[in-house]
Structure 1
Amino acid sequence: MNMQYIRKTLVTGLAVLTAGFLAFSTAAQAGVKIQKWQTSSGSEVYFVENHDLPIVDISINFAAGAARDTAQKSGVAGVTRYLMTLGAAGMTDEKIANKMADVGAILGGDFDADRAAFKLRTLSSEREKTQALDVFTKILQHPDFPEDVLAREKARIIAGLQESATQPESISSKAFMAALYGSHPYSLDESGEVDTVGRISRADLLDFYRQYYGAKGAVVAIIGDLSREQAAAVAESMTAGLPESAIKAPIPAVTLPTQPVEKRIAHPASQSHILLGYPGIKRGDPDLFPLYVGNYVLGGGGFVSRLTEEVREKRGLVYSVYSYFAPMAEAGPFQIGLQTKKDQAEDALKLVKETLDNFIKNGVTEAELKAAKANIIGGFPMRIDSNSKILDYLSMIGFYKLPLNYLDTYNSSVEKVTAAQIKDAFSRRLKPENFVTIIVGDPDAK
């Protein structure tokens, strides 16, 4: 039997098993039992044992997101995380990819303002698991940051940034975060800037890696076909060789705007792209569930939301309109977004503001509250119907230090929300008179 056939069989088998996770009954996922401990090197481990299928999912999270950049070196955090996967312990990016494909393993990851994460999905059989973990561990502990790969990726990132600078969605998002957060590190673009990315050197990546990829403070999440003892051994091996850097200071608190900001940006697009908002909440905030349930009614529930009903369905002023809270380590944004014809921009924006003001002033009706709860609770099983989704929750719970019973109490937390709590939370946390508003494609912009 040739190696190409073996490799194809393994990859296909893992794809089939991965798809099988979606077929789990919600009863099988009820009451997720999370075990927690600390490695000898100071990393926290969150583990869910599940032997239903021969697969293991692993994630390791570092406080090494874009908010750890500086304005002068914006982009270093993201390039560091990405290049770690493109050369390690003498292996080229091609060799890393081939060794993973050889055993049907999948390498992935996430990156945002707060954290940098690496993910691995592997079969739990000994040969496949051992080879995949060996490559994964080398990526974490011995990144090479090859000069030629750095030059190639810098050119690719710069080209992407230049392209983004012509797109109204990207322009509005970047302008919104800059206006909302000012000098706070959340204002920094996760991809960096053209000039700062162009200046990134291999030494910058090595310095960032040594400073922010230490074992202390790292969060390991594991779910799948392992025993507690096997999971502990995996976590120890992954973290023992990480840099010995100290736990970093928390991201600074966000200063709330004290006056409105409006920025109008010219663009040749036929539509206006409008964003408006205010700093929202942190992870673990006691107002999270009242704001989440309330926002489902306001603009998070799609076609059943107030904003869609008032601005799109009744008046036909927008192509789309939505709102959301994005909790982060510090106050993440509350954002309302809409797209409309340029000649309708002012009317649409005015109606959005009126709808929001009315919502904050009067709150939700009992009928709206009941429907929102039913939809949120009814949809919750789909949020934990696979090991990969549970892995993301384990990482979030660990990184943001949420209660271990977060998943078990999620639906009851939603059910407990009252109309009075929603009205109180929105009136305290959002100040429309101090909102940031960005209009890209404004016909009167200079």
Structure 2
Amino acid sequence: MIQRTLRTRAFAVLLFFVATAFSPLALALPTIERFTTASGVRVDFVANRDLPLIDVVVSFDAGSARDPAGKEGLAALTRRLLDTSTRVHDEQGLSEAFADLAVSLSGSVDEDRATVAWRSLSEPSVRDAAADLVAEVLTQAIFSPAVFVRERANAKAALKDALTRPNVLAERAFTTAIYRDHPYGRLTTPESLDRLGRNDLVAFHRTHYTRARAHVAIVGDLDRAQAEQLAERIMAKLPAGETPEPLVPVAPAQANDVRIAHPAQQAHLRLGLAVMTRDDPDYFPLLVGNHVLGGGGFSSRLVDEIREKRGYAYSVGSYLEPRRQAGPFVIALQTRGQQAEEALALARETLARFREQGPTDEELRRAQDNIARGFGLRLDSNRKLIGYVSMMGYYNLPTDWLERYPQAVRAVTGQQVQDAFSRRIDPARLVTVRVGGDGDR
């Protein structure tokens, strides 16, 4: 045990040193190689020899949109238990096995996908051992009954706590209102968690964690041949599976005004609709336009009109969340309950004026400079770059998407912004949500 602890600490110290002792990765224009493994898995790979590290993200079409109706939370709970125990290692043993290799293991679930991500040293013995351990997690997870009971209870307790917060209630009400019966509108509840059994997790894993539904992204200290071997080593033992049915498109929004009583003094407001896909032809005009409208911080119109001129809100802005099918466009703010209607009316007015007129030349130039000049900072480390490479490969975006990004931003015209917003953001279909403000009397 002492020798293993010392070895673990030695690897951890080395890993920390190589991650911090060198200057950040300067890969403004990374070369992305795209290929398919012998077992049929799609891979996107970027070689970087600056640091003796590798980052890998394995994505599966196993996001919350794949939850069966009535069993919302299944995708998230499956991912939560995936790396807790296998046929070879119990929970503690698996944790120690990763620690002995100084492997950083993580992952996530969103509406479209579930991920397993890991970082390790690129030294072949460590790299191969880490790959074998990840493959074990992916193919031999057992979803221990005891761990299932514990983690379902933890998820339920965390959800119940979250449901007391007005901002969470606002986000959930907004999601339900814009997506209605679409899979994106299926939200986890304490009751849906109660309906989940361990066998549901086993079946979900068997169906969705397959090669046909997988994508691998690799960034780091490897050549192409080594990357191919690594991807195959991780994925070859997974079942082939079947290509999933595509998600249905999101139906056009229907205007809705949702009010939820809550004793909070602040009213939490949401305004918007479903708009942008990952491969959206209006992606860059909407991106630049949103930066002018509300995504550019203190330089945005919403901040200027609602916060600076009227003092209606300390925090106000807008954002776009692209997905495989139409993701949301949201204007979000908090304000005192007594002035919520005035703030909401001003948000609508600001949006309407922007749709009609588009940005000024100065607003457009400033937004393009902010986005394009800051883009390099999003690629200045392996950890940042792997997120983009994984996203691009999973959504099958062109391999030169990163290279074209700054140029595409600068090529947007004010007329294109105005046209995109006028076509895509219909005021007659906006969903409005207000939660709280009832305590401000």
TM-score, with structure 2 as normaliser = 0.97
Q: Residue 335 of structure 1 aligns to a residue in which SS?
A: strand
Query: What amino acid is aligned across from residue 366 of structure 1 in structure 2?
Result: D
What letter matches 1:207 in structure 2?
A
**Which ranges of structure 2 fall in alignment gaps of 5 or more residues?**
none
Instruction: Tell me the equivalent position of 2:7.
Output: 6
Name the % identity. 41
Name the residue aligned to 2:24: 24
1:238 to 209, 234, 241: 234
Displacement after TM superposition at 1:20 (Å)? 4.8
Letter in 1 for 2:382: N
Between stretches 272-281 and 8-17, larger displacement belongs to 8-17
The correspondence for 1:171, drawn from 155, 169, 172, is: 169
- AA aligned opposite 2:364: L
Match of 2:160 in 1: 162
Q: Given that residues 89 and 139 in structure 1 are in contact (C-alpha distance below 8 angstroms), is that contact kept between their aligned partners in structure 2?
A: no
Kindly provide the CA deviation profile for residues 12-53 of structure 1, in whole angstroms up to 9, marking residues without a partner as x: 2212323356x336xx31321111111122210111111111
Aligned mates of 1:240, 1:131 — CA distance in 2: 15
Cα offset for 1:442? 4.3
**Contact 2:264–2:439 (CA under 8 A) maintained in structure 1:** no
| Structure 2 counterparts to residues 69-84 of structure 1, below 5 A | 69-84=67-82
Name the SS for the 1:71 alignment partner. coil
The count of aligned residue pairs is 439
Query: Which residue in the other structure is 1:34 paired with?
Result: 32
Matched, 1:255 2:248: no
Q: 1:262-411 maps to which residues of 2 (within 5 A)?
A: 262-411=257-406
Q: Structure 2: how far apart are the matches of 1:353 and 1:129?
A: 53
Cross-structure match for 1:139: 137
Q: What's 1:85 paired with?
A: 83
Alignment check: 8 A CA contact 1:41 1:240 kept:
yes
Task: Tell me the distance in 2 between the aligned counterparts of 1:57 and 1:117.
Answer: 13
For residues 86-165 of structure 1, the aligned pairs below 5 Å read 86-165=84-163
- 2:212 match: secondary structure: coil
Give runs of aligned pairs for residues 217-228 of structure 1, distance below 5 A. Answer: 217-228=213-224
**How far off its partner does 1:389 sit?**
1.3
Q: Distance in 1 between matches of 2:28 and 2:166?
A: 43
Contact 1:326 1:332 in 2 (8 A): yes
Distance 2:213 2:7 in 1: 39
Alpha-carbon contact 1:363-1:419 (below 8 Å) kept: yes
SS of match in other structure, 2:228: helix
* Moved beyond 6 Å, runs of 4+: none
Q: Does 1:193 align with 2:189?
A: yes
Q: CA deviation at 1:286?
A: 1.2
- The runs of 5 or more residues in structure 1 that have no matched partner are none
What is the root-mean-square deviation of aligned Cα atoms in Å? 1.5
CA change 1:20–1:305 in 2 (3 A) is: farther
